[in-house]
Amino acid sequence: MKNVNFQALLENAPGLYLILLPDLTIVAVSDAYLNATMTQRDEILGRGLFEVFPDNPDDPTADGVSNLRFSLEEVLKKKKPHAMAIQKYDIRRPDGSFEERYWSPLNKPVVNEHGDVIYIIHCVEDVTQREGAENQKKKAELLLQSSIESLKDMIILSVDCDYKYLNFNSAHKIATQAVYGIEIETGMSLLDHITNEEDRKKAKFNFDKALAGEWHTTTEEYGDVERLYFETRYNPIINEKNEVIGSTAFAVNITNRKKAEEDLLRMNGFLDSMNTRLEDANRELEAFSYSVSHDLKAPLRSLQGFSKALLENYKGKFDENAERWLHFIEDNANRMGLLIDDILAFSKISRLETNKSLVDMRSLAKEVFDELEIHYPNKKVLFDLSDIPSVSGDLMMLRQVWHNLISNALKYSSKQNTIHIHINWKKEKNHLIYHVSDNGVGFNPKYANKLFKVFQRLHGNEEFEGTGVGLAIVHRIIQKHNGWIKASAKLGKGSKFSFAIPVNQ
């Protein structure tokens, strides 16, 4: 045994060892320790421990020296080994800078036969890599927790396979307090704090699906103290072995949206009811208008017939006033007849369904003009018809539109020496817009909206005959084609009527 070289054994030992005197002078060191601390044996032997290994001056929180000094003093005082917690103790590089390191130290006394400590064995394990990984994990967890906390409007929670909380954000904690009146903590069972039995069953069912590996989304109502609606996405948590080890839920409180939807449904129901009542009232009004108009025709025909008979059979037997009154009766009866016919036409248009086909609008406008022009034999009429496109619509209804608009253009331009009517078109988005312009008397533009209402006229009957129903009929027809119509004009400078019909309908 006398030939055993203990110094050589120590120096070549695989562990990281440092031998200290009671005054903390370094007297021996293993090669592994030198390598780990980037030092040379001849540079550190005989020197004080903290002279060789000071704290990192650039780290204001460095406490390696004070912690190690405390441990070594405990060993000297109690003459027993002292294990230290993992320490951050940076090592000085050869260039003078410091490298971050983490160590797991154990200090053991060497006692002589008198019980005095003659050496301290300072044994360490370099756990920098492991501690770095642990720190990274902690940082990742902190970042994750910070991220989920930042989502104030989203409830985030995760549970293990026993439904115990792994983590959750403040939004979930607040929501749980609101709906169940319970404070929750990590490690508690999710199911235990759900005081409503139906809610507990729903939650278990949804988490069971996720724990079985299924991603799914629900919209459900939860709560005891207060009932709230949540839209929730359930995801399984899968480890590197492809095993489901828990579930995460992402939920959004949609109570306000749900209530708004319910209010909207109620409002839509109310509007549907009102629309039904309005449609019924319109149908009754149209039926009444048709009935009244139809029933008025019989006495009106009698009035027309008897007044005509009096004028023909008793000609010359009435004085001038009486004959003028009879003519007045006959003219107004004829005008009443026209008005009744227009009311019947308006009522009929309101009840008719549109029978759509592709309508050649140019041919239709030309045909209508040719029929109407013959009523103005003593007038020069210029009819400027562009190459207007065809459109999908009801042929008979669109014929009525052209008839009423062109007849109005002729009538209200009839006081001009030359009547000029111009028809053109343009496409705007998904509508074809047709224009009918004339050089007639025009009208005050502030009354343009009144033109399309029944019995609304801007010119007296003594100027131009009419019933005030024709443009109302046009307006109703264009409405039935999901289009629109408007008019523009200036007094004495003609008018322009534009109507639009959707291209794809």
| Domain identity same for 57 and 192 | no
User: Who contacts 406 (Cβ-Cβ below 8 Å, separation ≥6)?
Assistant: 365, 368, 369, 372, 421, 436
- The answer on 291 and 322 residing in a single domain is yes
Q: At 1, is the pLDDT very low, low, confident or very high (cuts 50, 70, 90)? A: very low
Work out the average pLDDT over 415-429.
91
b or e along 30-46 (b: 16 or more beta carbons within 10 Å of the residue's beta carbon)?
A: bebbbebbebeeeebee
Residue 183, domain extent: 151-253
Question: Residues 357, 298: one domain?
Answer: no
Q: Give the pLDDT confidence score for residue 128 in this predicted structure.
A: 84
Residue 267 counted as domain residue: no
**Same domain flag for 208 and 317:** no
Average pLDDT, integer, range 366-376 = 91
Q: Are 409 and 456 in a shared domain?
A: yes
Please tell me whether residues 329 and 357 are part of one structural domain. no
Among the candidates 109, 126, 143, a domain finishes at 126
29-67 tens-digit pLDDT:
999 999 999 999 999 999 999 999 999 999 999 999 999
Indicate whether 170 and 242 sit together in one domain: yes
Q: Hey, which bits of 112-259 come out as E strands? A: 117-126, 154-160, 165-168, 216-222, 228-238, 244-253
Q: If we measure between CA atoms, which residue out of 135, 127, 124, 133 comes closest to residue 53?
A: 124
User: Is 364 in the same domain as 475?
Assistant: yes
The answer to the question of residue 139 being in a domain is: no
Please give the residue that has the higher pLDDT: either 405 or 454. 405
Q: Is residue 261 assigned to a domain? A: no
pLDDT (mean) for 342-364: 77
What would the pLDDT profile of 171-194 be if each residue is shown by its tens digit? Answer: 888 888 887 888 888 889 989 888
What would you report as the CA-atom Rg of the chain, rounded to the nearest whole angstrom?
A: 50
CATH number at residue 32: 3.30.450.20
Spell out the alpha helix ranges (H) of 45-127: 49-52, 64-78
Find where tokens 């109005």 sit: 408
Same domain, 101 and 197: no
Instruction: Please identify, among 301, 333, 365, the residue that sits at the C-terminal boundary of a domain.
Output: 333
Q: How far apart are CA 337 and CA 359, in angstroms?
A: 32
Highest mean pLDDT among 56-65, 466-475, 496-505: 56-65
Specify if 240 maps to a domain. yes
Report yes or no on 391 lying in a domain.
yes
| Centroid of chain to Cα 68 | 61
**DSSP-based three-state secondary structure for 210:** helix
Percent pLDDT > 90 in the chain is: 39
- Whether residue 489 sits in one domain with residue 367: yes
Q: H-helix or E-strand containing 367?
A: helix 361-373
Domain boundary pick from 110, 126, 142: 126
CATH of the domain at 406: 3.30.565.10
Q: Looking at the domain assignment, is residue 463 inside a domain?
A: yes
Can you give the pLDDT at residue 23? Answer: 95
Evaluate whether residue 179 is within a structural domain: yes
Tokens read off for 130: 């492991």
Q: What share of the chain is helix, strand, coil (3-state, %, to 5)?
A: 45, 25, 30
Q: What is the pTM of this model?
A: 0.41
411 with 496, same domain: the answer is yes
Q: What is the mean pLDDT of residues 306-310?
A: 72
Contact at 8 Å (CB) between 417 and 398? no
Q: 314 and 244 in one domain?
A: no
Range in 134-138, 217-221, 250-254 the model is least confident about: 134-138
In a domain, 81, yes or no: yes
pLDDT tens per residue, range 278-290: 777 667 766 666 6
Residue 124 is predicted with a pLDDT of 93
- pLDDT confidence bin for 464, thresholds 50/70/90: low
Of 161 and 444, the one with more pLDDT = 161
474 pLDDT higher than 50: yes
294 or 263, which is more confident: 263
pLDDT at 229: 87
Is residue 156 within 8 Å of 249, Cβ to Cβ? yes
Number of domains in the chain: 4
